[in-house]
Structure 1
């Protein structure tokens, strides 16, 4: 498989994997859903940061201020969203499961959400900032073909309001994955056309 296919696919994969995971994400945490809640967030710890890495990869090799803003906001997203995943996903899911059936959720577990949720909020705002800057940058550089990058904006917004819960979060992660991969294709085609005409 050529790099023209593998590179966009690699960049699209994190968002698409999280979209699929979101289809299985319980909408509430109880003993009955706790093991799936926990089990989905453990691999999520490896995949959530890759969404930021994929976005940052779209400005690889550049040293201008805009590229550093994209990298910084992608890093803030990856860091704070991972904190949400660890605290409200892995931690709360594990504790709820370990308490056993029929045990009401103790205040301590609710306190985990009280810190995990605002950390995730910082991460999702950083994701929104990242995709807004990236989409504007790609439009300025690549013009009409980069319009596909605008799909990142509703994607990040849907993740902001819906995490990876279906339907909003699933759709949001899918849009981010597809748009990230599509921008990689556009970059490759534009640079190939420039090289051919140069």
Structure 2
């Protein structure tokens, strides 16, 4: 795949979450429960892909730093997916099914008490992923990898604002753009010229 096309593919998860975040309610109530529940369904598929995209930057390398990036990205993907399931899908569904005019019950509060710490672990793992990955790429690529610095504020905004607009939306978009920038920083691969076949008479 062309390097620019590959960069665009790896940017898609972050950019897609940014679009979802524009419609994400800032609070959960019966009035917002259906949208809260519905938006977290595609999130179940897209949140882990942010970690997959970051891990893909190290390619097939087998050195310790590459494995740290993969493990941190896996921790983010697992724990943030758990947040999406518990505080997103489950809490939204329960609130919707309770019907209008029902105050948020303790059962829903308990879901958030479970989901929020899982999300914290996931967002710290995301921060660890981008710090290690960025340091690695700056060491390897030098100033060409400077665009990857976008990952740092991106991960921090996701840590503080989830995907809520405007901060979380900006964070996910920066994650997408920073990932793409690191792919584009790689020097292009040159295909070695094949020797001309010998002429035989």
* TM-score range relative to shorter protein: over 0.9
Gaps of 5+ in 1: none
Say whether residues 1:33 and 2:32 are aligned partners: yes
For residues 96-154 of structure 1, what are the alpha-carbon distances to aligned partners after superposition, in whole Å with 9 as ceiling and x for unaligned? Answer: 00000111110000000001000000000000000000000000000001011111001
Describe the shift of the 1:82–1:93 C-alpha distance in structure 2 as closer, same or farther (beyond 3 A): same
Shift of 1:195: 7.5
TM-score normalised by the chain length of structure 1: 0.94
Aligned to 1:78: 77
Aligned to 2:6: 7
Aligned to 2:156: 157
Query: How many pairs align?
Result: 193
1:1-198 equivalences under 5 Å are: 3-187=2-186, 190-192=187-189
Shift of 1:6: 1.9
Describe the shift of the 1:171–1:194 C-alpha distance in structure 2 as closer, same or farther (beyond 3 A): farther
Shift of 1:193: 7.2
Shift of 1:181: 1.0
Structure 1 residue runs of 4 or more that deviate by more than 6 Å after TM superposition: 193-196
Q: Rg: which structure is higher?
A: 2
Provide the secondary structure at the position in 1 that maps to 2:189.
helix
CA RMSD of aligned residues (A): 1.5
TM-score normalised by the chain length of structure 2: 0.93
Q: Partners in 1 of 2:135 and 2:48 — Cα distance?
A: 22
Gaps of 5+ in 2: 194-201
